Amino acid sequence: MKSDLLSQEISGVKDFLMIDPEQALDREATDGLIGEIDSNTPGVNQEASLFLRQERKYLVGLRPVEDVTKTISAYVPIYRYSGKHDVTNIRTTYFDSPGLNTYREYIQRRKVRRKIRMRQYGYNGQFDPVSWLELKVKDHGISKKERFCLLEDDLPEFLAGKDVLDRVREMNTVKGIDQIYLDVRAILSSMTLMPLLQVRYDRISFQQQDDNGFLRITLDQNLTFELLGSEAQYTMDVVVMEVKVTGERPAWLPELFEKIGAKRVKRFSKFANAVEYLSSIPRAAQFLAGGLSE
């Protein structure tokens, strides 16, 4: 019975509406715009850091990815973190409750929803020993993201409920770090959140800024979902592109989308997709439907 109920919940994720990119550009100017407060911006208070940013996601049809990269880089340069690597390895651990409340908040389109994830970055398969704990709260269209970093060796104690604030202070110089740390701990406790699944992928970033505004494009490929505590894995054969624009939207974007076969998706959540695809694996579905403690 639980498995049937889970299947009904998961069917709600299959509402990705494919939109032709040219049609998408004809929508209202506010379509795809979000307000965001990033509490980690150094030297900027929360009022000053509230801005409107256009953020849209697409699925890319052109293969291989090398051709996509070459085409995009003709319009906007590749962004290399620390000036070294084209491709960044990312692994993100998502947290949820025994009742999958984070997942349900998403598919039910709750006006207020919270999500905690832990992210690590690496290159050539070697990951940095630092993890980023992120709390993202969406409140009636306004997104607020808070995060702090912690050494991987300190994570077991933190996740076990032990106070590691002194170590967090040593690694984070952001103003208000104590409150950010307390916010994350409070949400973990109040929602009974624990690590549920991990999403791994490879990212190529493109970025430029001029007098007209800021543009960032990311390409995510090799998406792999893993249910923690089991052997269940699923690889999603898709290339996800995210376009973030602050200021004037470049006039050449429709031309680029046509060249790389980009089709807009109204909603795309790596976390929700991971729950959906992993639930198609019998052992994973039983685990998810029965609760995380089983």
- Nearest-angstrom CA–CA distance, 133 and 7: 30
Q: Residue 191: its pLDDT value, please?
A: 94
Sequence-distant (≥ 6) Cβ neighbours of residue 270 within 8 angstroms:
92, 199, 201, 223, 240
First-to-final CA distance of the chain? 16
Question: Is the four-CA dihedral 96, 100, 105, 106 of positive or negative sign?
Answer: positive
Q: Residue 290: its pLDDT value, please?
A: 61
Sequence-distant (≥ 6) Cβ neighbours of residue 203 within 8 angstroms:
87, 88, 89, 90, 218, 219, 220
Peptide bond preceding 64 in cis form (omega within 30 of 0): yes
Q: Residue 212: its pLDDT value, please?
A: 85
**Dihedral, CA atoms, 134, 220, 74, 68, nearest 10 degrees?**
-170
Token output for 246: 């602050």
Please write the tens of the pLDDT for every residue from 171-218: 999 889 999 999 999 999 999 999 999 999 999 999 999 888 999 999
- Furthest C-alpha separation in the chain: 58
Q: Residue 127: its pLDDT value, please?
A: 95
Pairing of the two strands 51-60 and 262-265: antiparallel
Q: Domain locations in the chain?
A: 2-290
Report, at the CATH architecture level, how domain 2-290 is classified: Alpha-Beta Barrel (3.20)
- Nearest-angstrom CA–CA distance, 103 and 271: 8
pLDDT beneath 70: ranges in the chain? 1-52, 82-83, 282-283, 286-287, 289-294
The CA distances from residue 170 to 166, 180, 185, in Å, are: 6, 14, 18
What interhelical angle do 253-260 and 65-73 show, nearest 10? Answer: 160
